[in-house]
Structure 1
Amino acid sequence: MAKKIYSGCYTVDSKEDIVVFIIGMRINKLFSFSKWLPVFMAMSPMIKELYLNKELGFLHTEVSFSWKTITLLQYWKSFKQFEFYAKGAVHLKHGRNLISELEAKYEEFKSSL
């Protein structure tokens, strides 16, 4: 069954807080797989882990792909829950792996300058 498309702009009148977090990555050198593939591969398990642990406050994510860019739009119940997760207080296994991978790539980038 096809989804119906509603044209126009819409807003939500919610009595509860909601946080929208936008994160992404750009692939500068497509064939330098060792630079971007580990980070890309770490995203999916982390998102799955968030879906399985709803008590963290994670609601939903949308993924968008363009030529060299991957963007994730995440929805969270509150800023407090998002911040608590983002600052590592409750990062689960895959979240810690992604952060470690990002830190390693950042250090590699800094040393190449």
Structure 2
Amino acid sequence: MTRTVFPGRYTAAPERETITVFLIGMRANRWWRVPRVQRVAKQMPRMLRHLATHPEAGMLGFESWVGRTTILLSYWESPEHLQRFAADRDAPHLEPWREFMRTALGTGHVGVWHETYEVPVADAEAVYADMPAFGLAKATAHVPVGPGQNTAKQRLGRSGQRAA
């Protein structure tokens, strides 16, 4: 899939006070146990399709990488939106999670993990050079770097000092 590359420097401009960053992934600990690994791995695309068609669930956007250890980086309206999705009996997360806990936990075949951060937007900055819309900018607003936004310090609003 080809994505348009935006020449020059861009940044993210989220119009909110906080952003919830959720990292989730899995690791094939015993890659030769392919059926067990696949059973876990096939759940995420279904969840992402659901979230794409239910914007009220609160996921703003995501990026993903696949390998022995997979990672999905996602941005959410709030931790509460994320927790509601995780616990929603009608969404495609709760039952696969329960199945994992019943059948895979403790076998050592496949590991799962997640980390959640609620970040004040004032404490976040991003820059993308010659990139497609990506990450926080893709999830919120992708804008050209403007005057007074050349350095990370400036984008964080912490002085106009020049970067080394």
Q: TM-score category by the smaller chain?
A: 0.7 to 0.9
Q: Which has the larger radius of gyration?
A: 2
Identity %: 24
4+ residue segments displaced more than 3 Å = 5-8, 10-14
**Structure 1 position 105 matched with structure 2 position 104:** yes
Change (3 A) 1:75 1:91: farther
More strand by share: 2
Structure 2 Cα separation of the partners of residues 44 and 4 of structure 1? 27
CA RMSD after TM alignment: 2.4
1:32 maps to a residue whose letter is: R
Deviation for aligned residue 1:3: 0.8
Structure 2 Cα separation of the partners of residues 3 and 84 of structure 1? 35
Corresponding position of 1:3: 5
More helix by share: 1
Structure 2 Cα separation of the partners of residues 13 and 78 of structure 1? 13
Structure 2 Cα separation of the partners of residues 46 and 13 of structure 1? 24
Change (3 A) 1:40 1:13: closer
Give the unaligned 5+ runs of structure 1: none
Q: TM-score if structure 2 supplies the norm length?
A: 0.54
Give the unaligned 5+ runs of structure 2: 109-164
Deviation for aligned residue 1:75: 1.0
1:49 maps to a residue whose letter is: H
Greater displacement, 43-52 / 97-106: 97-106
Corresponding position of 1:94: 92
Q: Which protein has greater RCO, CA pairs closer than 8 Å, 6+ apart?
A: 2
Structure 2 Cα separation of the partners of residues 84 and 17 of structure 1? 18
Q: TM-score if structure 1 supplies the norm length?
A: 0.75
1:84 maps to a residue whose letter is: R
